[in-house]
Chain A
Amino acid sequence: MSSLAEGGSGEEDLVFPVAADAPRASRVGFGPLRLSQLARASGLVGLVVLAGFVPSLAQSNYLTSIALQIEILMCLALGLNFVVGYAGMLDLGFAAFFAIGAYTTGMLAVHAHWPILATLPPAVVIALIGAVFVGVPTLRLRSDYLAVVTLGFGEIIQTVVNNLNQTGGPEGIYGIPPLSLGGWTLTTTSSYYEIFLFLVVVFVAVSARIRHSRLGRAWLAIREDEDTAQAMGIKVRRYKLYAYMAGSVFGSLTGSLYAPAFIAIAPPSFGFTESLLVVMAVSIGGIGSIWGALLGAGVVIAFPEVFRQFAQARLLVFGIALVLVMVLRPQGVWPENGIGWRRLAARWLNRDAQSAPR
């Protein structure tokens, strides 16, 4: 065994990580970066810079606030993607963590006069405690039971904030102070747009890193086949809890920054509908796909806005569109293994093709 196993573990070459004997065609390139990687990286940077100019290009508070809503849903969708997309568990109460973040920040900032940034760590800790509290007893269940329990958890959190005096009851918390960053006080919608753009970028980077690590591979193995995952030495229950905890961190951070962005928070923003929107964003976009989660969030927010002229019927139109996506493309618009342009093109060009090239 050792003959095969140990080669390459000793000598490391940091400048040229491409092994000298690597025969793969994909290794064409120069230096530590492959050409395709370079193009990809610059494309991504360009995309983010372009996104940064959205408020000044839009020149409209309405469009900017829609864009901000999209970003918030993107953040939540990336959080839920750990649970639903990577680990394959259905979570119908994700808004609970969003609420925990928003309310922790709101209460500490309004009642105890904490600066917004200082409220992030306690919000994350409380969300993690919530995740462990709900996760430990329930994650041994199979996915469908988990969906029911998380649904209940979401309802409980909403009911609690609706009824406690400290959370302002149905009126919620208002007059949440703005976020201050090194002398800058952020008050405009476009400044929060930029903050959330940063958060989206960080969440995407974290998701991508984790996806291609021990943790991400373990989650995907569990999603694909729980029993077989155990044969890899993966402790299934523990790793499911990790997914739930990772999701709760993203959810609560999003909530914590949502509170100052919207100044007031109230229970209706954290109900089942919100949880469902996040699930929709993840599944329309493509389960387990980072690009899919981003795209899905955009579709879920923008679609009803674009079809405003349908007035009352727009939700009906939205519903029909959702059903169509799920029937025609159940893997999502942008699935984790790529859109498959070539296959799609081949199908359109030659509908009789028995098997399309991959």
Chain B
Amino acid sequence: MACLSVRGLSLSFGGVDALAGVSIEIPDRSLFAVIGPNGAGKTSFFNCLTGYYRPSAGSVALDGRDITRLGAAEVAALGIRRTFQNVRVFPKLSARENVLAGAHLRASASVLGTLLGTPRHRRGERVLAEEAERWLDFVGLADKAAVLAGDLPYGMRKRLEVARALIAHPEILLLDEPAAGVSSVEREELASVIRRTAADGVTVVMIEHDVELVMQLAAGVAVLDRGRLLVQGTPEAVRADPRVVEAYLGRRQR
């Protein structure tokens, strides 16, 4: 069970309201998309969910538990993982080590075990290392394990971020513009990764500008505009909604 319920979420920077009373219910095991024009508050929304921003009002609850005031590391520990809009891999670590860093909370924390290299510790590390290879394979980077993340092309870095999030076995995965700036070939691979992730029972929430991708993947869509929730519904309903068209294209002059 992992459902996110957001109630009356507001965030203001000085006099600017990035978010103004957004309420969204994201059901368990869904593939959910958040769309909206630039500056609509989508990334701010994600940052509030993951403890990077503290909302000025409202609440975020995970399975009924209030997580509004938790820090980013604590939110991550509860099984909410995310990727970043501006791709934030650890550039000087190899792809494999990037993924292993994502497994932080699953790795053995025993310093004594580490120093002595106890069989138990080594087994734990080996299991994680093998799992890291599988996640790299899952996102199509099996042959890039030893390459420094900073040397990977943009699209691969995006997928590496997804592998790094998935090795933590998250309940909820938040993807911030996964398809932005990736080639059409890579976009297909990405769509497949997202689909398989959701099929594995992870609740996926994505911010995406690529309407085709959203229509293709998402079961539910929420549209944000100027910090407010404009519409929420199925992709078809949202696409047909005149308010959405207006938000993106403006009102027709008569």
Chain A residues proximal to chain B, CB less than 8 Å: 1-5, 7-9, 12, 14, 17, 19, 22, 24, 26, 206, 209-210, 212-215, 217-218, 220-221, 224-225, 227-236, 288, 336-337, 358
Contact = CB atoms under 8 A, between A and B. Distances in A.
B104 A220 contact: no
A7 B100 contact: no
B239 interface: no
B76 A233 contact: yes
Contacts of B135: 4
A9 B123 CA distance: 9
B200 interface: yes
Given A206-B115, A215-B111, A230-B51, 16 more contacts: A1-B201, A8-B131, A22-B130, A209-B114, A213-B108, A217-B100, A217-B107, A220-B93, A228-B90, A231-B72, A231-B81, A231-B165, A288-B92, A337-B148, A358-B147, A358-B151
Given A224-B92, A228-B84, A213 B125 contact: yes
- Majority secondary structure, B binding face: helix
A270 B76 CA distance: 42
B73 A235 contact: yes
Given A217-B101, A217-B104, A230 B92 contact: no
B249 to A, nearest CB: 34
B105 A210 contact: no
Interface in B104-124: 104-105, 107-109, 111, 114-115, 117, 119, 121-123
Interface string B60-96: 0000000000011100110001101000101111000
B220 interface: no
Contact of A209 (B117, B134, B147): B117
B115 A233 contact: no
The interface centre, meaning the residue of A8, A12, A210, A232 with most chain B CB atoms within 10 A of its CB, is A232
A336 B93 CA distance: 10
A234 B165 CA distance: 13
Nearest to B79: A233
B185 to A, nearest CB: 22
8 contacts: A4-B138, A209-B114, A210-B111, A210-B114, A210-B115, A214-B114, A224-B93, A358-B151
Interface of B: 50-52, 71-73, 76-77, 81-82, 84, 88, 90-93, 97, 100-102, 104-105, 107-109, 111, 114-115, 117, 119, 121-123, 125-127, 130-131, 133-135, 138, 145-148, 151, 164-166, 168-169, 200-202
A221 B90 CA distance: 6
The interface centre, meaning the residue of B93, B122, B138, B202 with most chain A CB atoms within 10 A of its CB, is B93
A337 B92 contact: yes
B17 to A, nearest CB: 23
Nearest to B167: A5
Contact of B73 (A24, A234, A288, A358): A234
Contacts of A215: 109, 111, 114
A272 B201 CA distance: 56
Contacts of A213: 107-108, 114, 121, 125
A291 B51 CA distance: 38
B130 A1 contact: no
B93 A3 contact: no
A309 B148 CA distance: 44
